Structure 1
Amino acid sequence: MKNPVAQLATAIEQFGDSMKKLTSASLGAAALTALLLAGSVSPAFAAPGTSKTAVASSTTSTTTGVDEACLAAVNTAISRGETGISTDVCTYTQTVTVSAPAQATPADIQAARGTLSKSDYQSLQAAAAAGAVQSKTFNRTYDNVVVAWHQSGRFYYNGSRAWVSTTYSGATGYQSCVVDRAIGYIIEVKKCDESGTTTTRNLRAMFHSSVVPSGGTVNWDTEWHTYVNATGSVWW
């Protein structure tokens, strides 16, 4: 009779070999990379149950500033004799809120199901469950009582890549640029786009302002840039 311990050891070894072959054959390179990210990036992306940095809470900051494009346009108008307008309109309050990081879940990548093979889709679900993909939201508001607008969005990151409007690892973020208030002004969203590299994204919001009493002769563009990167940082 064969030794039961030896039989068990052989069975375990054979099972391990089978799993290695199955993983190599069924997972695409990109999906396998995502699945293994938890072991190759910073501790913030480590798999559940391992040492990882504490998850930061959401943050909100409020500052005041001067819209330089507005200031130039208003000063030019005043110098040519325009009345009823003041540089006071160029001072604004900016409030920025950035959420705590949230791990993408298998449910978050449900939309990608129809565009992936069964094995790749299952791999992405596993990667999301392992915490290899995270997301944050942000919101920036511009407010000077008569005019208000905001730029907001969600981006995803995995330690080596950041993405917003494109789909990667089955997840897609977004950017939104919205006029909230305009009293005595015509405000239009001129640009709401993004550029950059795979590790850092530049989210641009441009608003065009026209002063109604001037018949549109006093106008300017205010351009904001919000940057996000592969480690989840947000700055502007």
Structure 2
Amino acid sequence: MILASSTLMVATSASAAAPVQEGQLKVVSSQKVTSSECVAKVQARGGSGREVAACTSTVTLAVGAETHPSSKDVASARSALSPREFEALSAAAVAGTVRAAPFQQGKNNGTDQEEQYGRVYYDGSRVWIATYGRYTGSHICKVDWAVGYDVTNTGCGDYGSSSQRSIYQKWKFSLGVKGSPVSWEETSTIFVNASGRFWQ
């Protein structure tokens, strides 16, 4: 049985940004990750080595060039910020310290591919996801494709302090069909700090 699944989840109220185009991003990290929960579930049902191999994914993080929002872009953020936050943001924009960068994290294991992408802002002391006029800050999680698995998004968001954010995508995988007794969850996280450093 071949099953194709597609899910799109937007984590913020910001308007959805289009996926970042190839060539605009530079890969900053790529790693192999094996889900121990997946391995245990597949082995418990007598799965083959090929099925267990599908429990290992390549997770790739790419980041685009930073940009500086204009004062007009900053002014458009007034309604989303407290007066104190807006004053601090305006001062940082005038000083040229506010920067923005697009990011994209893809997860692929040969049977399915998921990704999260968006844009973050930072000023040296704070980091956040927001919208400034033509600079659309957002966080989107989606399934690109899946064969033989049902993939459902169960989480797409960010958390942390004002100086470091953790941006995550969380997925539930079911072998064959939704509701299958062989299912597990996986989470991929991007970390970004107030100086614009990204890692996973």
Structure holding more helix per residue: 1
1:138 maps to which residue? 103
1:196 to 2:164 alignment:
no
Deviation readout 1:63-120 (Å, 9 max, x if unpaired): 3332333222212222xxx67972021122222211122212234335335678xxx9
Please state how far the C-alpha of 1:124 moved relative to its aligned partner.
5.6
Give the secondary-structure state (helix, strand or coil) at the position aligned to 2:113.
Answer: strand
In 1, the alpha carbon distance for the partners of 2:178 and 2:45 equals 9
1:151 maps to which residue? 116
Can you give the 5+ residue segments of structure 1 that lack an aligned partner in the other structure?
1-56
Give the secondary-structure state (helix, strand or coil) at the position aligned to 1:102.
Answer: coil
- The 1:122–1:89 alpha-carbon spacing in structure 2 relative to 1, beyond 3 Å, is closer
2:45 to 77, 81, 87: 77
Q: Is the Cα contact below 8 Å between 1:163 and 1:172 reproduced in 2? A: no
2:76 maps to which residue? 111
1:184 to 2:151 alignment:
no
In 2, the alpha carbon distance for the partners of 1:115 and 1:97 equals 28
Q: Which of 1 and 2 has greater Rg? A: 1
Calculate percent identity across the aligned residue pairs: 32
- The 1:126–1:218 alpha-carbon spacing in structure 2 relative to 1, beyond 3 Å, is same
- The 1:215–1:125 alpha-carbon spacing in structure 2 relative to 1, beyond 3 Å, is closer
Can you give the 5+ residue segments of structure 2 that lack an aligned partner in the other structure?
1-23
Any residues of structure 2 matched to 1:36-185 within 5 Å, and which?
A: 59-60=26-27, 61-78=29-46, 86-112=51-77, 127-165=92-130, 173-185=137-149
Query: What do you get for the CA RMSD once the two structures are aligned?
Result: 3.3
2:190 maps to which residue? 226
Give the secondary-structure state (helix, strand or coil) at the position aligned to 2:77.
Answer: helix
Give the letter aligned to residue 235 of structure 1.
Answer: W
Q: Is the Cα contact below 8 Å between 1:137 and 1:155 reproduced in 2? A: yes
Please state how far the C-alpha of 1:122 moved relative to its aligned partner.
9.6
Q: Is the Cα contact below 8 Å between 1:156 and 1:172 reproduced in 2? A: no
Structure holding more strand per residue: 2
The higher-RCO structure (CA 8 Å, 6+ apart) is 2
2:17 maps to which residue? none
- Matched residue pairs, number? 172
In 2, the alpha carbon distance for the partners of 1:142 and 1:125 equals 37
Of 210-219 and 226-235, more deviation after overlay is shown by: 210-219
